[in-house]
Amino acid sequence: MIDIKLIRENPDLVKENIKKKFQDHKLSLVDEVIELDKKNREATLKGDNLRSSRNSLSSQIGVLMKNGDKEQAEQIKKQVQEINQELEENEKLEEKYSEEIKSRMLKIPNIMDPSVPIGKDDSENVEVERFGEPVVPSYEVPYHADIITALGGLDKESAGRTSGVGFYYLLGNVARLHEAVLAYARDYMINNGFTYAIPPFMIRSDVVTGVMSFEEMDAMMYKIEGEDLFLIGTSEHSMIGKYKDQIIKKDSLPVKMTSYSPCFRKEIGSHGLEERGLYRLHQFEKQEMIVICEPEDSMDFYNKMWKLTVDFFRSMNVPVRQLECCSGDLADLKVKSCDVEAWSPRQQKYYEVGSCSNLSDAQARRLGIRAKGEKGNYYLHTLNNTVIASPRGLIAVIENNYNEDGSVTIPEVLRPYMGGLEKMEPVKN
């Protein structure tokens, strides 16, 4: 959510930003907010004047009663009652205007960073840099579900019986590798100065609307029936929500945390769910990182955070690239975002394994996350980035370490988490 002062003082800038995001249907929201804000400020001024008049009249009542002028005191009491009635109606009007303003402000996208490339959708995202040589081996790399099945590590048929499409059983050494990747991600982030956390896996609606747009919420999150609770789609939601309505001490900044959680997503949309594979699912696990920092430091942290993900995958022999998200692919709360994509030697193309986002003060405004400065309280900036989401990230590790004989070499950094195991061999039927 942007500062309403920006809409008052520079509505053309806000409208131009909306156009660059190809959301022209939201242009009318700016004019509606301006008109409602004008009415709200008039109502607020009227309320202040009414309260001032009431206080002035109320102070006279005691003097008149003390002087024995009860008739005049009763007349003033009557005036005070009339003011109270008028004030009650005015306060309802103020509340109505405030709610209508907020409902519109929540839909107006954040102001993008000038460096964001202009494009209609993810097809116009821009490759920035590659890390590691994308190798296409001389032998065929099978579909990842077939590799994992041959290793005795996948049972989606049973998961279909227990839970339906979009769920899975991981088994044996593959299940162990899945957890090894997450454990390594945890230690990797701790070693890079982040505090480890395991957050709540359910959050209330006021936290949900604080961290994401309504469109994202409807497409992603599962609601707990009969309760004001949602299953998290990523631990970033509960980690940022941890600081809701808090004033963080300046000497505690920056807040740098890394968190583990299971994640649950509806995955509604054009992509759909995979019947056989492990790429798009209702349930997965994730190691995340978040930063809450001074506004002037957020872009520096943004660049440090996505590079951490790059180095993490490179340490497991996975070539990756950074892809800059264009304006049309940028979620409304974000000012800048990029994807880290892993190389798939089977598909001979890259696919997303992580996403890094700078949201400036958008989430902080919605959630009331502030610091106290010399000139008063101010909103901080929030950022988030994926370390790894697995099994999606696991696919990249398996494909890029797959051998011609069907075995998978375990990256050296993961072997301590696998009891020293160096290679996973196909299971003989």
Query: Over the stretch 7-52, which tens digit does the pLDDT of each residue have?
Result: 999 999 999 999 999 999 999 999 999 999 999 999 999 999 999 9
Whole-model pTM? 0.89
Q: Which helix (H) or strand (E) holds 78?
A: helix 70-105
β-bridge partners, 46: none
pLDDT at 273: 55
pLDDT at 275: 64
pLDDT at 56: 87
By three-state DSSP, how is residue 333 classified?
A: coil
Query: Over the stretch 76-88, which tens digit does the pLDDT of each residue have?
Result: 888 888 999 999 9
Pair 263, 286: CB distance under 8 Å: yes
Question: Between the CA of residue 254 and those of 207, 251, 386, what are the distances in Å?
Answer: 21, 8, 18
Residues 6+ apart with CB under 8 A from 267: 166, 220, 273, 280, 281, 282
Residues 6+ apart with CB under 8 A from 386: 234, 286, 287, 288, 289, 309, 340, 353, 354, 355, 356
Pair 343, 134: CB distance under 8 Å: yes
Query: Over the stretch 323-345, which tens digit does the pLDDT of each residue have?
Result: 999 999 999 999 999 999 999 99
* Positive or negative: CA dihedral 267, 272, 275, 280: negative
User: CATH 3.30.930.10 residue ranges in the chain?
Assistant: 122-424
pLDDT at 268: 53
Q: Which helix (H) or strand (E) holds 223?
A: strand 222-223
Question: Between the CA of residue 400 and those of 132, 136, 318, 323, 410, what are the distances in Å?
Answer: 12, 9, 6, 20, 10
Question: Between the CA of residue 272 and those of 8, 120, 277, 298, 392, what are the distances in Å?
Answer: 42, 21, 12, 34, 15
Among 351, 321, 320, 355, which Cα is nearest to 337's?
355
CA angle 190, 254, 125 (to 5 degrees): 80
Return the CATH number of the domain spanning residue range 122-424: 3.30.930.10
Among 102, 119, 117, which Cα is nearest to 7's?
102
**For all residues of the chain together, what is the average pLDDT?**
93
CA gap 302, 109 in Å, rounded: 19
Query: Over the stretch 149-184, which tens digit does the pLDDT of each residue have?
Result: 999 999 999 999 999 988 999 999 999 999 999 999
Residue 204 has which token pair?
Answer: 């209330």
CA gap 366, 245 in Å, rounded: 9
Identify how many contiguous H helices and E strands the chain contains and give both numbers.
Answer: 13, 18
pLDDT at 61: 79
Pair 350, 131: CB distance under 8 Å: no
Pair 34, 340: CB distance under 8 Å: no
Query: Over the stretch 222-281, which tens digit does the pLDDT of each residue have?
Result: 999 999 999 999 999 999 999 999 999 999 999 999 999 999 998 754 355 556 789 889
User: CATH 1.10.287.40 residue ranges in the chain?
Assistant: 4-105
pLDDT at 270: 39
Q: Which helix (H) or strand (E) holds 378?
A: strand 376-379
CA angle 364, 369, 375 (to 5 degrees): 105
CATH-assigned architecture of domain 4-105: Orthogonal Bundle (1.10)
Residue 406 has which token pair?
Answer: 């069907």
pLDDT band at 73 (very low <50, low <70, confident <90, very high): confident
CA gap 271, 263 in Å, rounded: 18
